């Protein structure tokens, strides 16, 4: 689950996990940066403090240290058990925030993806899309992860474009969904996209 600030990913990830679990299969719902004790400790360094605390390259390396720990300790074992993994943000957030937004070199990010993520790529990436000023307003009311929110309106507008560009480049993996509307409406859009792309996910389907 990907997107800019305040698009409702966390709520939707939890709801999706509940619905997927209704089929009886194990579902692991997790997030980045974080998701394992070590990665959550790194998250604390990333999301708090002044904007200039880290450069975009240092941020990239911290995100990838966190991502490696999360993959090794949570995601890869869950997949090996046959669980579904629903992750609130993953590698596209680094491409968007540190790459397109911050200017960290695309070759560095691509090399880290190959070395650190390897085969553990998502089967489906849902990009929840809304105008960045609307998302920021919603995120501001929540008051979390303020360091990234403080990067400014132009930065956040670049993120939206970056997520849309990633989805356009990788249409087999990514699906862009309108994040506007109430929670139920967005949840229905997500479930429809999932049923279309991953028919095995739907407990009610002939495949399930």
The whole-angstrom separation of Cα 64 and Cα 139 is 24
Q: Does 12 bind ligand TMP (CB under 6 A)?
A: no
Contacts of 201 (CB under 8 A, 6+ apart): 20, 23, 84, 194, 195, 208
| String of contacts with ligand TMP for each residue 99-138, x by CB under 6 A | ----------------------------------------
Q: Does 3 bind ligand TMP (CB under 6 A)?
A: no
Q: How far is CA 159 from the centre of its chain?
A: 13
Which residue in 89, 156, 158, 160 binds ligand TMP (CB under 6 A)?
89
Looking at residues 144 to 173 of the shown chain, list those that interact with ligand TMP (rule: CB under 6 A). Answer: 144-145, 148
Q: Does 32 bind ligand TMP (CB under 6 A)?
A: yes
Closer to ligand TMP by CB, 22 or 41: give it.
Answer: 41
Q: Does 47 bind ligand TMP (CB under 6 A)?
A: yes
Specify whether the CB–CB gap between 43 and 59 falls below 8 A. Answer: no
The whole-angstrom separation of Cα 74 and Cα 37 is 10
Q: How far is CA 42 from the centre of its chain?
A: 17
Residues in touch with ligand TMP (CB under 6 A):
5, 31-33, 47, 63, 89, 93-94, 97-98, 144-145, 148
């Amino acid at each position: 689950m990907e997107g800019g600030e305040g698009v409702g990913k966390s709520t939707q990830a939890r709801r999706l996990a509940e619905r997927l679990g209704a089929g009886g299969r194990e579902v692991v719902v997790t997030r980045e940066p974080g998701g394992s004790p070590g990665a959550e400790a790194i998250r604390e360094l990333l999301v708090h403090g002044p904007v200039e605390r880290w450069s975009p390259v240092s941020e990239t390396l911290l995100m990838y240290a966190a991502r490696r720990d999360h993959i090794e300790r949570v995601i890869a074992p869950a997949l090996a058990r046959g669980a579904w993994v629903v992750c609130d943000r993953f590698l596209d957030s680094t491409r968007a925030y540190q790459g397109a937004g911050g200017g960290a070199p695309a070759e560095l990010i691509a090399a880290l993806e190959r070395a650190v993520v390897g085969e553990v790529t998502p089967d489906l990436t849902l990009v929840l899309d809304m105008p960045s000023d609307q998302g920021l307003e919603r995120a501001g009311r929540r008051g979390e992860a303020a360091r990234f929110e403080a990067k400014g309106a132009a930065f956040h507008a670049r993120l939206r474009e970056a997520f849309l560009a990633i989805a356009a480049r990788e249409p087999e993996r990514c699906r862009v969904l309108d994040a506007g509307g109430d929670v139920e409406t967005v949840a229905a859009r997500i479930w429809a996209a999932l049923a279309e792309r991953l028919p095995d996910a739907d407990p009610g389907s002939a495949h399930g």
